[in-house]
Amino acid sequence: MKLQSIIAAAGIAGGGALSVATTPVVAAGPPGFTCAGSIAAPGFITAGTYSSLIMPAGTVCGVVGDVVVTRPVAIQDGAGLAVLAGSLTIHGAVTVATQGVLASFDNATPVRIGGPVLVGLNGAFIVGTETPFGPRVNSIGGPVTGKGESTVQVHNATIGGPVRLTGGGGDNRIVDATGGFGAFNDLEDNAISGPVSMTGYHGIWAGVIRNVIHGPFTFSNNVQAVPDEWDIGTDTIYGPATCNDNSPVPNTGASAGGPSVVFGPIRGDQASTCTSAL
């Protein structure tokens, strides 16, 4: 066919516009991941970016590479998510429901969470391990709230919001089944924006050690069923500190460090032992 015939067939003879029908090309988004493992046979999440991470009730999965999730994550009742290798980054909030677990047991497997964290009844939230004066490799971009939590442990992290832990101290079934050390709260070597409070806890132990706290600090009405100790020390607190009615009386414990420095009034019947204020 001659060129003139091709142009005429296309409808552009005599200066008409060329119209070509096309089908839009939509780039495929990252896949989602739904956990289907169990304690006896965990599922594994390999390295990659995921549009969602769904943790149905009772499921157990482990991260085994550098994993990025672009949406909030809800860990349903009795579900468990562990970072076994690589890292976990979540662009959004994290909710740990009743008896749920999110855990990274080593600072070499960092956790980065963009939004607030809520830990429910007998839930477990464990980030890192004790590394005195070590770098802050973990991060949480919003408040950390525990409501009847079994254990909240955050180490070597930057936390961009208040930490409020209220009540709790019961056992978590997954932690018990996997050889955990029981119910205790621990905040160590963190930089925390906003108030920090731990009140009405009944676990086996709690520590607030080597943190920089930009806001008020409250440690009150915490009671151990089997008396051990509450360890508080080497904190720098930019605000008032209130410590009262804890059993046993808090002390600086055996961890590396010494007395805390408090830039604000110190209140409560256990203020001197709780803060070791200068």
71-109 tens-digit pLDDT: 999 999 999 999 999 999 999 999 999 999 999 999 999
185-198 tens-digit pLDDT: 999 999 999 899 99
Query: The pTM is what?
Result: 0.87
| Tokens at 114, concatenated | 């963009």
| pLDDT confidence of residue 21 | 40
Instruction: Using DSSP, state whether 4 is helix, strand or coil.
Output: helix
| pLDDT confidence of residue 15 | 38
Which residue pairs from 253-257 have beta carbons closer than 8 angstroms and sit at least 24 positions apart in sequence? 253/207, 253/209, 253/229, 255/130, 255/132, 255/188, 255/207, 255/209, 255/210, 255/231, 256/132, 256/133, 256/210, 257/132, 257/209, 257/210, 257/233
120-139 tens-digit pLDDT: 999 999 999 999 999 999 99
| pLDDT confidence of residue 275 | 64
Dihedral sign computed on CA atoms, order 117, 122, 125, 129 = positive
Nearest to 138 by CA among 130, 147, 148: 130
| pLDDT confidence of residue 28 | 60
Rounded Cα distance, 65 and 44, in Å: 9
31-81 tens-digit pLDDT: 999 999 999 999 999 999 999 999 999 999 999 999 999 999 999 999 999
Rounded Cα distance, 74 and 116, in Å: 12
Residue-averaged pLDDT of the chain: 87
Confidence band for 199, pLDDT divided at 50, 70 and 90: very high
Share of the chain above pLDDT 90, in %: 73
CA dihedral 195, 236, 186, 72 (to 10 degrees): 50
Dihedral sign computed on CA atoms, order 9, 10, 11, 16 = negative
Contact 57, 36 (CB under 8 A): no
Whole-number CA gyration radius for the chain: 25
Tell which phi-psi region holds residue 106, choosing left (phi > 0), alpha (psi between -120 and 50) or beta. beta
Rounded Cα distance, 262 and 110, in Å: 30
- The mean pLDDT value for 149-160 works out to 98
The more confident residue out of 157 and 260 is 157
- The mean pLDDT value for 10-33 works out to 50
Rounded Cα distance, 63 and 99, in Å: 19
Nearest to 198 by CA among 245, 135, 264: 245
| pLDDT confidence of residue 27 | 52
